């Protein structure tokens, strides 16, 4: 690629990145649960979009393309981190503690519970209830069937409901 | 009137949006992105294409001529042999081999592997180890087993009964020769260590960050007077090109324009990444096989990348590769290439994602012999990943199930092959 071509590509990409980065950061944070991991994830995602910039003919599909990279890269990061620790440890990155300051009470507990979901369930939850994608769109992003999206979402909601009930019960006991 | 389900999903949506709103917007600049892109490309994570591969076949010979004329050191660049550099042919017309979960049951693996803390040999004999190792290789009557430690990995030398006889820090893991008689690893500060006949011998020290032993050539001994051996080392941080260290203590740059070595056959075929790390990030990352004895590159491919599991077959005639654009959850197919022509001998893939017993990706491969490949797969279920193992007979394309799907205690991967 010529130098002029690279400059033009960089300018075009920069404009897109400035507009899209905040949304990617938010989704990445919800998927990973901490700011540092989210930033790493978005940086890798942007780099992959940059690498593929010339191959994507229709600019209006780039947002969806970037989202798909983000979600799948999150799984990939998880996998690599796990492989480094594939000894007897049960630690997995998706269960990392989060120290973010936020409100206390029921909604904070809900966020805590979201972070304990298996990574695919968590991805389904974020895509369905934050990105507000349809089941079909969620299936496409994750490369799974619509039926799997339904079952993963159902399991996740059941878990969250159960955890919320347990949390409420424990809070009630403490008050007494 | 709203249902409990509605309340939960509404609450969930609000919670996620509130959480997301606290995230800073634009912390990453274009320079950061381009640096990361360069690293990704170097790791062969960029989508290649047929058009690019065809172009490369035209360009490469002129590069080879320059390298041959100007390179005066002991690490010759590829020779000017345009007729040798070939574009790999596509997969055979009879289609890919699908890892069918309903395939007939086959025998247990005919090689040594780890399963949890058990070391299981090809006859089915089990030895219980003290800890669960990340990988293992053979060095004569001993094993070199790698475990994760803090802050670095360690190599434990195990005797035939699995008892720890010695231990050493390592940057990554240990490697064993094709016949399993000599092994090697590199310490984090670059010392290239070998193990054979019950003793540890340092060959020399390599310079460059994050050294990783990738292959050892030799048999029986690494002593200079007994034939010697040669260890190939990558530098994972890209600070230096791959090096080899032999029993004379000579440290040399790996020939063939290799930027990362993935596998070396006993016959001297070197497979690895050849695209330079400072190449334009949007350029494809290409791999090649270089014949060191003949001093020429055999072929180059921008469609596939080497290093996924098995490497060269025991007879050196074939090599396992993965599609270069495999990403995310991992490759859903691997290919077996002719190691001298790059032609696709077989393509092995997991079933379609919508089948009843879906498989997500291929996680590892290992040669049982020159005609049989073991393939480990995973599937991501609600309760965590589960794993299966298949045997592919490359002589007729048939598939056997070796081990049924297993969740294996949550996140700990079963069946780690002896590499």
pLDDT score of A63: 85
pLDDT score of B351: 84
Residue B14 touches partner A, C-beta closer than 8 Å: yes
Indicate yes or no: CB of B327 within 8 angstroms of CB of A14. no
pLDDT 10s digits, B106-115: 999 999 998 8
Q: How confident is the model at residue A29 (pLDDT cuts 50, 70, 90)?
A: very high
Q: Which of B251, B233, B229, B230 is nearest to B242 (CA)?
A: B233
pLDDT score of B137: 94
Q: Looking at chain A from residue 88 to 127, which residues have their Cβ under 8 Å from any Cβ of chain B? A: 88-90, 92, 100, 102, 106-107, 110-111, 114, 118-121, 125-126
Q: How confident is the model at residue B325 (pLDDT cuts 50, 70, 90)?
A: low
A115 neighbourhood in chain B, CB within 8 Å: none
Residue in B12, B328, B412 nearest the CB of A86: B412
Please state the φ and ψ torsions of residue B242, each to the nearest 5 degrees.
-60, 145
> Which carries the bigger pLDDT value, residue B298 or residue A49?
B298
pLDDT 10s digits, B89-147: 545 557 899 998 889 999 999 999 988 889 999 899 999 999 888 889 999 999 999 98
pLDDT score of B181: 96
Mean pLDDT of B347-359: 74
Indicate yes or no: CB of A114 within 8 angstroms of CB of B12. yes
Rounded to two decimals, the ipTM of the complex is: 0.79
> Which carries the bigger pLDDT value, residue B311 or residue B282?
B311
Tallying the residues shown for chain B, one arrives at: 419
Mean pLDDT of B153-175: 92
Cis, bond preceding B151 (omega within 30 deg of 0): yes
B25 neighbourhood in chain A, CB within 8 Å: 21-22, 25
> Which carries the bigger pLDDT value, residue A130 or residue B30?
A130
Indicate yes or no: CB of A130 within 8 angstroms of CB of B37. no
A84-98, B152-166, B210-224, B316-330: which range is least confident on average? Answer: A84-98
Residue B12 touches partner A, C-beta closer than 8 Å: yes
A116: which DSSP letter?
T
To the nearest whole Å, the CA of A171 is away from the closest chain B CA by 18
pLDDT score of A119: 82
pLDDT > 70: what percent of chain B? 76
pLDDT score of B37: 76
> Distance of alpha carbon A169 from its chain centroid, rounded?
30
In the numeric block, which tokens belong to residue B374? 């073991």
Indicate yes or no: CB of A120 within 8 angstroms of CB of B380. yes
In a 10 Å sphere around its CB, with 0-12 CB exposed, 13-18 middle and 19+ buried, how is residue B357 labelled?
exposed
Q: Mean pLDDT across chain B, nearest whole number?
A: 80
pLDDT of B394 higher than 70: yes
B330 neighbourhood in chain A, CB within 8 Å: 76, 79
Q: Looking at chain B from residue 366 to 385, which residues have their Cβ under 8 Å from any Cβ of chain A? A: 380, 382-384
Indicate yes or no: CB of B329 within 8 angstroms of CB of A25. no
Q: How confident is the model at residue A78 (pLDDT cuts 50, 70, 90)?
A: low
pLDDT score of B84: 40
The three-state (H, E, C) secondary structure of chain B, written as one string: CCCHHHHHHHHHHHHHHHHHHCCCCCCCCHHHHHHHHHHHHHCCCCCCCHHHHHHHHHHHHHHHHHHHHHCCCCCCCCCCCCCCCECCCCCCCCCCEECCCCCCECCCCCCCEEECCEEECCCCCEEECCCCCCEEEEECCEEEEEECCCCCEEEEEECCCCCEEEEEEECCCCEECCCCCCEEEECCCCEEEEEECCEEEEEEECCCCCEEEEEEEEECECCHHHCCEEEEEEECCCCCCCEEEECCCCEEECCCCCCEEEEECCCCEEEEECCCCCCCCCCCCCEEEEECCCCEEEEEECCEEECCCCCECCCCCEEEEEECCCCCCCCCEEEEEECCCCCEEEEEECCCCCCCCCCCEEEEEEEEECCEEEEEEEEEECCEEEEEEEEEECCCCEEEEEEEEECCCCCCCCCEECC
pLDDT score of B167: 93
In the numeric block, which tokens belong to residue B17? 């949006």
B55 neighbourhood in chain A, CB within 8 Å: none
pLDDT of B39 higher than 90: no
A97: Cβ–Cβ under 8 A, 6 or more apart, which residues?
A: none
To the nearest whole Å, the CA of A174 is away from the closest chain B CA by 23
Residue A78 touches partner B, C-beta closer than 8 Å: no
Residue B205 touches partner A, C-beta closer than 8 Å: no
- What interhelical angle do B30-42 and A35-52 show, nearest 10? 70
pLDDT > 70: what percent of chain A? 67
Indicate yes or no: CB of A1 within 8 angstroms of CB of B147. no
Mean pLDDT of A67-82: 72
Q: How confident is the model at residue B283 (pLDDT cuts 50, 70, 90)?
A: low
pLDDT 10s digits, B18-27: 888 888 777 8
pLDDT score of B380: 63
Residue in B16, B329, B382 nearest the CB of A152: B382
In a 10 Å sphere around its CB, with 0-12 CB exposed, 13-18 middle and 19+ buried, how is residue A103 labelled?
exposed
């Amino acid at each position: 690629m010529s130098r002029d071509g690279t400059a033009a590509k960089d300018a075009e990409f920069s404009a897109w990145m400035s507009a899209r980065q905040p949304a990617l950061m938010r989704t990445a944070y919800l998927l990973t649960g901490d700011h540092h991991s989210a930033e790493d994830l978005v940086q890798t995602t942007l780099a992959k979009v940059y690498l593929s910039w010339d191959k994507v003919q229709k600019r209006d599909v780039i947002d969806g393309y970037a989202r798909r990279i983000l979600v799948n890269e999150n799984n990939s990061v998880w996998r690599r981190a796990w492989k480094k620790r594939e000894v007897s440890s049960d630690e997995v990155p998706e269960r990392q503690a989060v120290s973010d300051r936020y409100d206390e009470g029921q909604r904070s507990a809900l966020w805590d519970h979201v972070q304990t979901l298996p990574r695919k369930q968590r991805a389904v939850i974020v895509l369905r209830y934050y990105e507000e994608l349809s089941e079909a769109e969620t299936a496409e992003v994750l490369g799974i069937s619509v039926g799997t999206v339904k079952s993963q979402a159902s399991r996740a909601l059941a878990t969250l409901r159960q955890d919320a009930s347990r949390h409420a019960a424990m809070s009630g006991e403490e008050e007494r | 009137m709203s249902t409990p389900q509605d309340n939960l999903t509404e609450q969930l949506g609000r919670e996620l949006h509130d959480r997301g709103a606290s995230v800073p917007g634009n912390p990453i600049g274009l320079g950061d992105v381009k640096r990361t892109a360069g690293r990704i490309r170097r790791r062969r994570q960029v989508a290649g294409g047929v058009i690019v591969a065809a172009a490369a076949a035209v360009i490469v010979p002129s590069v080879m001529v320059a390298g041959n004329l100007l390179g005066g050191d002991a690490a010759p660049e590829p020779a000017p042999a345009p007729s040798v550099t070939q574009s790999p042919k596509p997969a055979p017309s009879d289609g890919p081999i699908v890892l069918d979960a309903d395939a007939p049951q086959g025998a247990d693996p005919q090689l040594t592997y780890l399963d949890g803390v058990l070391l299981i040999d090809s006859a089915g004999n089990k030895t219980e180890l003290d800890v669960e190792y990340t990988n293992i290789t053979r060095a004569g009557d001993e094993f070199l087993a790698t475990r994760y430690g803090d802050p670095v990995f360690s190599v434990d030398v195990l005797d035939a009964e699995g008892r720890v006889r010695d231990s050493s820090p390592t940057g990554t893991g240990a490697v064993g020769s094709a016949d399993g008689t000599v092994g090697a690893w590199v310490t984090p500060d670059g010392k290239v260590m070998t193990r054979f006949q019950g003793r540890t011998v340092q060959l020399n020290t390599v310079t460059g960050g994050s050294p990783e032993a990738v292959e050892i050539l030799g048999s029986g001994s690494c002593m200079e007077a007994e034939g010697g051996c040669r260890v190939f080392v990558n530098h994972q941080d890209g600070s230096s090109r791959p090096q080899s260290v032999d029993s004379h203590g000579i440290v040399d740059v790996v020939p063939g324009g290799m930027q990362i070595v993935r596998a070396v056959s006993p016959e001297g075929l070197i497979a690895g990444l050849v695209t330079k790390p400072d190449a334009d990030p949007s350029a494809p990352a290409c791999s090649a096989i270089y014949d060191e004895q003949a001093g020429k590159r055999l072929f180059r491919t921008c469609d596939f990348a080497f290093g996924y599991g098995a490497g060269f077959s025991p007879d050196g005639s074939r090599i396992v590769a993965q599609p270069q654009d495999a990403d995310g959850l991992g490759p859903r197919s691997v290919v077996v290439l002719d190691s001298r022509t790059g032609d696709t001998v077989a393509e092995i893939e997991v079933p379609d994602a919508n089948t009843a017993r879906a498989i997500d990706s291929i996680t590892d491969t290992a040669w049982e012999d020159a005609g049989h490949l073991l393939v480990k797969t995973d599937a991501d279920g609600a309760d965590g990943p589960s794993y299966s193992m298949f045997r592919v007979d490359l002589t007729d394309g048939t598939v056997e199930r070796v081990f049924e799907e297993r969740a294996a205690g949550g996140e700990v991967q079963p069946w780690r092959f002896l590499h």
